[in-house]
Structure 1
Amino acid sequence: MRIAIFGDIHANLEALEAVLEDARAQGTTDYVCMGDIVGYNADPAACLEIVKEMNCPVIKGNHDEDASGEHSLESMNPVAAAALEWTRAQLSEEQRQWLRRLRMVRQVADFTIVHATLDQPANWNYVTNRFDAMSNFSYQFTQLCFHGHTHVPRVYVKSDKVHEVPAESIAIEPNSKYFINVGSVGQPRDGDWRACYAIYDIDHNLVVFRRVEYDIKKTQEKILAAGLPEMLAERLADGR
């Protein structure tokens, strides 16, 4: 079984289509979505419908929650708030209800998925170093847990202590636990503009990260045509 694990799509249709095409070419048999399907970019409804029709395990991200709610966005970053207000207007009530029903934590096969952290999933805390990861391991009851939220691929390993290893090709060792950020499809923030996702090969105990080029110019043009903040188009090229 080879599972494509992808998330933080953020309404980037071109990146999502490129990732799914690459995943098929890599012989994946199953798919898992890590949330934040919407927000920031210009195709929230189209991306949501693709993920919905895949009928794969999906968890809720913070942008999914904000886009499907009616609460005030005043406390948010103004750029993110503007994109979410626009996104709310693009989604049907049926689509918003589908987002509301998503769970925050799920177990799939032999691993767990959460958008942010297992200790307080609804608080949308960020894991940016091994000290942040330590808290999560206390609540992790499967060997592997995949997450997203920071848009930066990272791998934290707990053996005798917690340490970080490069997010490349990870051989799963039997006496260790892993907390793995699969990066972002639609808005990478690690300096690499290409879409990022991971493939978990259960039969070979291997997690491999993939970077995929997509038509970034088309995505940027859509952002500007929609009247979304210009910096959302600019940041894509910088991988920030």
Structure 2
Amino acid sequence: MKLAVVADIHGNVLALEAVLADLKREAPDAVVNLGDCVSGPLWPEQTAAILRETNWPTVRGNHDRVVAAGTIPPSNRTDSFTIERLSAESRSWLQDLPPVIRWTQDMLLCHGTPDDDLTYLCETISGDGMQLAEEAAIEERLGTERAPIVCCGHTHIARLITLSATDQTILNPGSIGLPGYSDGTPSAHKAEAGSPHARYATMERRRDGWRIDLKTVQYDWDKAAAEASRNGRPDWARPLRTGFYGPL
């Protein structure tokens, strides 16, 4: 069995289309999506239309939850932009997404942690950036979850981690659509992938266990950055073009 894992598309239809083309070459048996599908100053409805058609099993991300609820303050520029451009069909699709998916008995899909779509599972805030969390902290955030494989997104940083105490594997495939961002929760910090590529992962079950590959895909990131700039978001344009957010 071969599975593709995608996350954090954030309305970047150009990156999504490039990954779709790469998936044709990879030919997985299934694709699963870890959420934050459409929010961003790019192409939310075009992205939602593709995802509704693919019908991939999809977890609800924190931005998906906010947009689906529909009560967005003007200060939330990202989700306000998104909801104004989504069709009723796309909003209904977001509303129906589950917070977690137990894909198989051995695999749990979530956005942040199994219990909270806003908490980073594998990262700790350090200064204005993030670093890999200590193993004990990751175990604590997993709570009682003991699935041998946990797939998460949210941080946009690709990770492949094995916990020594529980022998669990944690996979974050990275972000398809946004390689850098800033956030004020729990304190002001930024995430940076370091290159503008779209990212996802493949998992193939073999006799000796799972083979997991972290994938990077080229696409026209200059065009995506130009769209963010046109929509008044230079804070998106720079990471889209370079993979770095810049100073907070």
TM over 0.5: yes
Partner of 2:157: 152
Contact 1:38 1:67 in 2 (8 A): no
Aligned counterpart in structure 2 of residue 116 of structure 1, from 109, 112, 116 = 112
Counterpart in the other structure of 1:27 = 27
**In structure 1, what is the equivalent of residue 178 of structure 2?**
187
Q: How far apart, CA to CA, are the structure 1 residues paired with 2:120 and 2:143?
A: 16
* Residue deviations 1:47-99 (CA, integer Å, cap 9, x gap): 1111111122100001111122222436xxx5xx2121111100012211210
- Give the letter aligned to residue 208 of structure 1: D
1:133 deviation in Å? 1.3
Q: Matches of 2:28 and 2:242 in 1, distance apart?
A: 29
Deviation at 1:138, TM superposition (A): 3.2
Letter in 2 for 1:178: T
Query: 2:128 maps to what in 1?
Result: none
1:199 counterpart residue number: 202
Q: Could you tell me whether the CA contact under 8 Å between 1:137 and 1:179 is conserved in 2?
A: no
Change (3 A) 1:179 1:136: farther
Asked if the contact 2:72–2:80 (Cα under 8 Å) also holds between the matched residues in 1, the reply is no
Match of 1:211 among 213, 216, 224: 216
Shift of 1:187: 0.6
1:27-66 equivalences in 2 (<5 Å): 27-66=27-66
3-state SS of 2:214 partner = strand
Give yes or no for contact 1:82–1:228 (8 Å, CA) kept in 2.
Answer: no
Structure 1 residue 67 corresponds to structure 2 residue 67: yes
How many residues in Structure 1 have an aligned counterpart in Structure 2? 218
* Residues 136-183 of structure 1, C-alpha deviations (whole Å, 9 max, x = no match): 33332310010000000112212237xxxxxxxxxxxxxx21121111
Taking structure 1 as reference, are residues 160 and 20 closer, same or farther at Cα in structure 2, changes over 3 Å only? Answer: same
Q: Which runs of 5+ in 1 are unaligned?
A: 162-175
3-state SS in 1 of match to 2:59: coil
User: For residues 151 and 132 of structure 1, do their structure 2 counterparts lie closer, same or farther at Cα, with a shift above 3 Å needed?
Assistant: farther
Same amino acid, percent of matched pairs: 28
Instruction: State the Cα distance separating 1:114 from its structure 2 match.
Output: 0.1
Q: Where do 1:159-174 residues align within 5 Å?
A: 159-160=164-165
CA distance in 2, matches of 1:53, 1:136: 34
| Matching of residue 84 in structure 1 with residue 87 in structure 2 | no
Distance 1:108 1:68 in 2: 23
2:99 paired residue among 104, 115, 130: 104
Give the 3-state SS of the residue equivalent to 1:73 in structure 2. Answer: coil
Q: Hey, what does 1:178 align to over in structure 2?
A: 169
SS class of match (2:178)? coil
* 2:194 counterpart letter in structure 1: G
Tell me, yes or no, if structure 1 residue 143 matches structure 2 residue 152.
Answer: no
Q: Distance in 2 between matches of 1:228 and 1:2?
A: 40
Partner amino acid for 2:223?
Answer: K
2:189 aligned partner: none
- Alpha-carbon distance in 2 for matches of 1:22, 1:235: 22
What amino acid is aligned across from residue 234 of structure 2 in structure 1?
A: E
Tell me the distance in 1 between the aligned counterparts of 2:38 and 2:23: 21
- After TM superposition, give the deviation of residue 121 of structure 1 in Å: 2.1
The CA distance in 2 between the partners of 1:193 and 1:223, in whole Å, is 14
User: Which aligned pairs between 1:9-28 and structure 2 lie closer than 5 A?
Assistant: 9-28=9-28
Contact 2:59 / 2:111 at 8 angstroms: preserved in 1?
Answer: yes
Q: Which has the higher contact order (CA 8 A, sep 6+)?
A: 1
Match of 1:232 among 226, 236, 240: 236
| One-letter amino acid matched to 1:160 | A
